[in-house]
Amino acid sequence: MKKTKAKEKKIEKKTKKVGKDEDNEDSEGLSLDDAFGDFDDIEYGKSKPFKAKKKDINEDGMEENELEEELDVVEKQLNGKEERREITIKASKPISKIKKGDKIKIDGNEYEVDSHYVLMDHKTTKEMAIELFDSKNDKDYQLRYFDDQAEATLEFYELQEIMYFKKNVVKIEW
């Protein structure tokens, strides 16, 4: 029985020492303010001067804000929020008679017809496309419409990279 009491005393002493060591660490350590508060002599580098940004122009020659505006227009169209504008049409012949080599004037710019074809054949109507080319700025365009409602459905698109983007027009002549 004496052996067990002696062992218990040793265990108690060991546990007390361990507990005291933990208390000492907390009381002897420095606070964060004390540890890092004495840095009054630090000199920080001077900030760089402000540089005005250049206008970002992409490879198509468009400024970034123009591109953002066009993307906003596309988003509105996809969401159905943009109202359809009236287009003034001055036709010298029926739209179905337009052929390669003819000239079409859109908002004062003259384009040459490359081709006129059926873009998509819906069973009751045909979606038509007139491929246009502007030799001044070397760009391609499309004039799309449905053959049964040509004047009401005319839309003008500009080719950028690999996609056609809709452009708003006011006046079309041929």
Does residue 43 form part of some domain? no
Q: What is the pLDDT of residue 83?
A: 58
Does residue 71 form part of some domain? no
Q: What is the pLDDT of residue 12?
A: 60
> What's the total number of domains in the chain?
1
Q: What is the pLDDT of residue 146?
A: 93
Does residue 102 form part of some domain? yes
DSSP characters over 74-129: HHHHHHT-SPPPP-EEE-SS-GGG--TT-EEEETTEEEEEEEEEEEEE-SS-EEEE
Does residue 38 form part of some domain? no
Q: What is the pLDDT of residue 106?
A: 93
Does residue 164 form part of some domain? yes
Q: What is the pLDDT of residue 10?
A: 57
Does residue 53 form part of some domain? no
Q: What is the pLDDT of residue 51?
A: 72
Does residue 147 form part of some domain? yes
d(CA 169, CA 172): 8
Does residue 91 form part of some domain? yes
- pTM flag (> 0.95): no
d(CA 55, CA 78): 28
Question: Containing domain of residue 99, as a range?
Answer: 87-173
Low-confidence ranges of the chain (pLDDT < 70): 1-28, 32-42, 44, 52-64, 77-84
